[in-house]
Structure 1
């Protein structure tokens, strides 16, 4: 979160220019600020290390509260599917939610990511896709594939390497908890690989086994 705040400060100061920075410093400090003093701050903000911004816990919680409802709607309105593997193993870490980006500049973040991947255990993957032109699909069991497992594992590693306290990850984790409670009609039985959702679970033909070369189940 501090890194995001630092980038935001750099963008705001850069767009405003040195004269605006001098004016903002004068207003904030309640005294006249010389151009030389403003230049020192400018150089610090635009240095390779960037400005050091400290974000406290209350500000983090405030961001979560303001984005909660919107993020919940984005997650709920995706197409939910479950993939059960018998041979492949899924990467799991302390960062349970992975955003799978697309190739486009608008296919990033919670709203734009092509999928949200959540391993319920090492063999069960919750896969949330974009809803499509005709709205979200009815919840269903997806055929296991090596491609899907590899995409999740790659995204999970990247997510684990990132700062676990980043606002996006924290928001998605909290939102998924709320959405899961809204959609679920009973508790998850991990041992039985049981998933009951409000809209019902459809099973694709032969979802328990796949004889094709792409099957990773």
Structure 2
């Protein structure tokens, strides 16, 4: 493929049609509520080169975007059958739609950004444990030049600040994660319990992250929310339908002779529609989408994406020291602490020497 910019969709176009009017127009609401514009489903979720990966020879490839289109084609037919009244869906249709739900979650901007955050946190931890002089040695060894105290201070402060250095999420790394997790995630969702909600009048909205992973109110905040810990997967299907997917572990006690809870349909109520729309809006990244002539977001809380908590892999602040974590320790204490596999000090962990310099994908620092 020539090295040119491609318009790529982060949310499937066939899916957005279920929320559009007869002319194929959909309303896009920017969080936390403005601006609100009407545009075609073909323009609603476009990001340039989002799935374009860099090959070993430096050329760019859109192979994965084309591979995703095969999954979308099968899922579009499954969704058409669901909305036309076929329920439950089984066999190849269920497999196709479970695969699409898994793909739609894994290819989201949130998943890619989380990878960038985790990379930055790990770099912060490794450098913070190693200390300033180890950072000086890394830079000098990589660039073959002396590093002044002033430059070292700037680098240290930027890398060890809360959250770590600002790292641009990497498309190649994201696609590797996606392709490795897609088969098992799809199989997991396929085996879950599915409930279809149908609404006669109430309008359902969707977002740029249409697969919501929800947990119980008492879920430990430190644990995070992932595929294995989610209590519920919520997927708006159209302006009049939504799907919930619940792990089988939610139904530990079944009547004798019943192997699994069957999928079923529920009539949607105003309260259910409001709850679905609130969850969808709360988990959106930047945009919420709905039919241009309806107001499903009225009275709901719309978050400001800039104030969202940044995910963290650990609370590393107590481990970060200019002199290095192990400075002043006896050999015995150092060996004991090393046995805990702290990155940089365990034979099986990373050290500061494993960090490429310059840090790949690091955003330029602002002046001051």
TM-score normalized by structure 1? 0.59
Partner of 1:122: 239
Partner of 1:157: 281
Q: Secondary structure at the match of 2:227?
A: helix
- Unaligned runs of at least 5 residues, structure 1: 165-217
Q: RMSD of the alignment, in Å?
A: 3.5
2: distance between equivalents of 1:47 and 1:17? Answer: 10
Q: Secondary structure at the match of 2:194?
A: strand
1:96 to partner: Cα distance: 2.6
**Larger helix percent:** 1
2: distance between equivalents of 1:27 and 1:64? Answer: 36
2: distance between equivalents of 1:91 and 1:113? Answer: 21
Give the one of 49, 64, 80 matched to 2:194.
80
Conserved? CA contact 1:100–1:152, under 8 Å: no
Conserved? CA contact 1:107–1:113, under 8 Å: no
Mark the CA change 1:162 to 1:100 in structure 2 (over 3 Å): closer, same or farther: farther
Q: Secondary structure at the match of 1:81?
A: strand
Q: How many residues align?
A: 164
Give the structure with higher Rg (CA): 2
What whole-Å deviation, never above 9, does each CA across 1:57-79 have from its counterpart, x for those lacking one? Answer: 22221111122123223322321
Give the one of 155, 162, 165 matched to 1:51.
165
Mark the CA change 1:2 to 1:86 in structure 2 (over 3 Å): closer, same or farther: closer
Mark the CA change 1:45 to 1:127 in structure 2 (over 3 Å): closer, same or farther: same
TM-score normalized by structure 2? 0.38
Q: Which runs of 4+ in 1 moved over 6 A?
A: 32-35
1:116 to partner: Cα distance: 1.1
Partner of 1:109: 226
What whole-Å deviation, never above 9, does each CA across 1:79-105 have from its counterpart, x for those lacking one? Answer: 111011113211123433222232202
- Unaligned runs of at least 5 residues, structure 2: 1-111, 254-258, 289-368
1: distance between equivalents of 2:121 and 2:208? Answer: 31
Mark the CA change 1:11 to 1:35 in structure 2 (over 3 Å): closer, same or farther: farther
Counterpart mapping for 1:1-217 below 5 A? 1-2=112-113, 4-14=115-125, 17-19=128-130, 22=134, 25=138, 29=142, 36=149, 39-47=153-161, 50-103=164-217, 104-105=219-220, 106=223, 108-131=225-248, 132=250, 133=252, 137-162=261-286
1:120 to partner: Cα distance: 1.6
Conserved? CA contact 1:10–1:45, under 8 Å: no
2: distance between equivalents of 1:81 and 1:19? Answer: 51
Q: Secondary structure at the match of 1:116?
A: strand
2: distance between equivalents of 1:144 and 1:163? Answer: 24
Q: Secondary structure at the match of 2:130?
A: helix
Q: Secondary structure at the match of 1:142?
A: strand
